[in-house]
Structure 1
Amino acid sequence: MALAELGSVVLDCPDPHALAAFYAGILGGTVEDNGDWLDLRLPGPAGGTLAFQAAPGHVPPKWPSPEASQQFHLDLTVEDLDAAEAAVLALGAKVLDAADRTRTWRTYADPAGHPFCLCTG
């Protein structure tokens, strides 16, 4: 028996509304606005919540950097890397590492600087 269950993953950011809209554009779902805290309720059988908290002094993690931890990153599963890449770039993502186009993943930063990967199966 588990001691707890995961309630949500929370991202600190300077603009929770903008970051919630970015991830809603990628993952779908419904944004619930609570002022300086927003919840993105994710669709699908697993559901879950990705939350966004206002952090005015937010400093984005560095990737890759042996001197500064990236803290964590999201792996987002997609069917077509090229199509997904075009979509996340149009939403405001920045490429961090897509040099090896034969890999099954590519790494980006969201508009607040958090790293995330698009991955195939």
Structure 2
Amino acid sequence: MAISALETVVVLDCPDPGKLADFYARLLGGTVEGEGDWVEVAVAPEGAAVRKLAFQKAPGHVPPKWPSAEHSQQFHLDFYVPRAELEEAEREALSLGAELLRNEDGGESGFRVYRDPAGHPFCLCFR
């Protein structure tokens, strides 16, 4: 018997939940909900259920380093974009405060790796 349904919310620790929520709301076209130590971003893709990311204030937050065995990323987020829109998506992500970490092959591998303003790795991917 399952003890819960898979209705998860991914929660990222960070020094400033409102600032990081704003970054992801702009990146994903979502809306910011709440303020203070716990802030969420709600994203409602057309025809799909609302999905949420949450951001929790973590005093003394130490961002992961990628790649690094000593400061492992623990996990990362993948966001899919149409291949023809990858360059535009990258420009927009960078203008919002993302930092490019890996694009050695011009994106031919199907993804590019970035760091959000709090240091969490994420990828823009295409199929």
Structure 2 distance, partners of 1:20, 1:51, is: 8
4+ residue runs of structure 1 moved beyond 2 angstroms? Answer: none
More divergent stretch after superposition (11-20 vs 61-70)? 61-70
Please state whether the residue corresponding to 2:100 is helix, strand or coil.
Answer: strand
Identity of aligned residues (%): 58
Structure 2 distance, partners of 1:91, 1:34, is: 20
RMSD: 1.3
The aligned runs of 1:22-101 (5 Å cut-off) are 22-44=23-45, 45-79=48-82, 80-101=85-106
Letter in 2 for 1:74: L
Please state whether the residue corresponding to 2:27 is helix, strand or coil.
Answer: helix
Per the TM alignment, residue 98 of structure 1 is displaced from its structure 2 partner at its CA by 1.1
Structure 1 distance, partners of 2:2, 2:35, is: 29
Normalising to structure 1: TM-score of the pair? 0.93
Per the TM alignment, residue 120 of structure 1 is displaced from its structure 2 partner at its CA by 0.5
Please state whether the residue corresponding to 2:25 is helix, strand or coil.
Answer: helix
Please state whether the residue corresponding to 1:17 is helix, strand or coil.
Answer: helix
Which residue of the other structure, out of 100, 113, 116, is the alignment partner of 1:110? 116
Structure 2 unaligned regions, length at least 5 = none
Normalising to structure 2: TM-score of the pair? 0.89
Per the TM alignment, residue 2 of structure 1 is displaced from its structure 2 partner at its CA by 4.0
How many residues align structurally?
121
Per the TM alignment, residue 58 of structure 1 is displaced from its structure 2 partner at its CA by 0.4
Letter in 1 for 2:30: G
Structure 1 distance, partners of 2:99, 2:2, is: 38
Structure 1 unaligned regions, length at least 5 = none
Letter in 1 for 2:116: D
Per the TM alignment, residue 118 of structure 1 is displaced from its structure 2 partner at its CA by 0.1
Corresponding residue for 2:3?
3
Structure 2 distance, partners of 1:46, 1:120, is: 22
